[in-house]
Amino acid sequence: MPRPARPDRNAPSMATSDTIVAIATAPGDAAIAVTRLSGPDAVAIAARHFRGARDPVASGSHRILFGSFVVGATVSGDIRLDTVLLSVFRAPHSYTGEDVVEISSHGGPAIPRSILESLTRSGARAARPGEFTERAYRNGKLDLAQAEAVAAIVRARSDRSLRAAHATLGGDLSRRIEALDAELVTILAEVESRIDFPADVREAAEVAALAARSGAAALLLREWISRLPSARRREEGVRVAIVGAPNVGKSSLLNALLGYDRAIVNEAPGTTRDTIEASIWLDGTEIRLTDTAGLHAATDPVERLGVERSERAAAAADLSIVVRDCTRPDAGAAESERLRAAASGPVIVAWNKRDLAPGPMALLPPAAAAGAAAAGVDAAAAKVAEVETIALRAGGVDSLVTAIRAALPRVLGENAAGELPATSLRQEALLTEAAAALERASDQLSALDPDNVAYDLSAVDLTEARRALGEMVGRGVDDAVVTAIFARFCIGK
């Protein structure tokens, strides 16, 4: 694991007297399962159940021992449960900073459960969610930003989100915060010197420079915040809504993109009455596809609910695929153009059933163009691309896949320079607080007359900005907040 850039020395040391245990791997059928202990008695508890050529208690740190795990004894000898590897990590050179033992056994539900039950009977306590990483934070092995990155690594759903989480774990986010805080310290020192020694420093140019520096720091944070939505799309996946009139082939396109039948397809219109979700992966990014009910003037209450869900899915989508029917170019024209106008993100118009169309045709038929003009929509501005598809033929959606791939840079904001480290919603809120405080400080300093010694408000705002940034890495965070953060982790991490 990367060494933290700068452990938070203000985090309370956690001289715990208890030893915790949890299964660190996911439940279910698997070749390997890992059960983890941490605490002062971790090695001794594990040794009571281990039989091998070497004694865990006598072994040094970072040793792997081969042997058997025993769950009891009879007059004829030990009851051996499984052949295991015992990994011993002595404090402080471990993940948590305490003595840690990891027991690697065969997977499945029975063996790991028996190991866990045996260790708890021998004195270990079942760990709370995230308690191992919480102990690492409290013992100064990680700061809070790095600790939250551990959860981000576990949840990562794309190559890029994984790289971003690893960057934060390696200290990228912490170093950015540290550098910005150092700048704020120098600005605050200058402001407070004017409070304490008003007769010595009153030059207007110096006050203007302080205002500019505070404003520049605020702009830096605002630019960072503006890029977080696109970064979060990389982490959580790009939402793509497949919308259009009934019976234009939306479900067929979903199945073709997936490569298997996820949605029911039938010639009768209105087969899909609810949203159907599934995912594909393009260039390391998860594409979260949503098939929707056909948009039309529904009278049936259930159909009307389906249409409302379709409209909400289209409004929330990062990218919309508006499906049209080559055999019926006028079908759903008004609804399609309205969707194109209302879409918050890029739009791809997929002209489906191209194999059934009667001869050559333009991608944007005159009737559709007239409908767009009547709706006041600039067809060129409202779309990324128009493509032809044949959902029921191999390779029939290749052009659609190409169009989705081409739209991703716009959706993900990849023209912005540099990668951002993984940032949680809690950290985003703190960045917003810091930016607002810096903007207030800059305004206060800009408004000051050089003979005015009322710098107190700007000092309060600068201190508030430092507090918010400090909380991102765990400095001055309320203990209840820390506990709540780690409660969202999985058990065993």
Tokens found for residue 250? 């939306």
Residue-level pLDDT at 116: 96
Residue-level pLDDT at 446: 85
Q: What is the 3-state secondary structure (H, E, C) of 314-347?
A: HHHCCEEEEEEECCCCCCCHHHHHHHHHHCCCCE
CA–CA separation, 74 and 119 (whole Å): 18
Residue-level pLDDT at 353: 81
| Ranges under pLDDT 70 in the chain | 1-16, 197-205, 263-275, 294-311, 331-332, 335-344, 357-384, 414-419, 448-454
Give the domain ranges of the chain: 20-143, 156-473
Residue 154: DSSP 8-state: H
Which residue in 352, 367, 362 sits closest to 321, CA to CA?
352
Burial class (CB in 10 A: 0-12, 13-18, 19+), 436: middle
Please write the tens of the pLDDT for every residue from 426-466: 889 999 999 999 999 999 888 866 555 467 888 999 999 99
Residue-level pLDDT at 332: 65
CA–CA separation, 178 and 5 (whole Å): 10
Concatenating the DSSP letter of every residue in 63-112 gives: EEEEEEEEEEEETTEEEEEEEEEEEEE-TTSSSSSS-EEEEEEE-SSHHH
Please write the tens of the pLDDT for every residue from 351-400: 888 777 666 555 544 444 444 444 444 444 445 677 878 777 777 888 88
Residue-level pLDDT at 418: 53
Backbone angles phi and psi of 407, in degrees to 5: -80, -20
For the domain 156-473, what is the CATH code? Answer: 3.40.50.300
Q: One fold for both 20-143 and 156-473?
A: no
Q: Which CATH architecture has domain 20-143?
A: 2-Layer Sandwich (3.30)
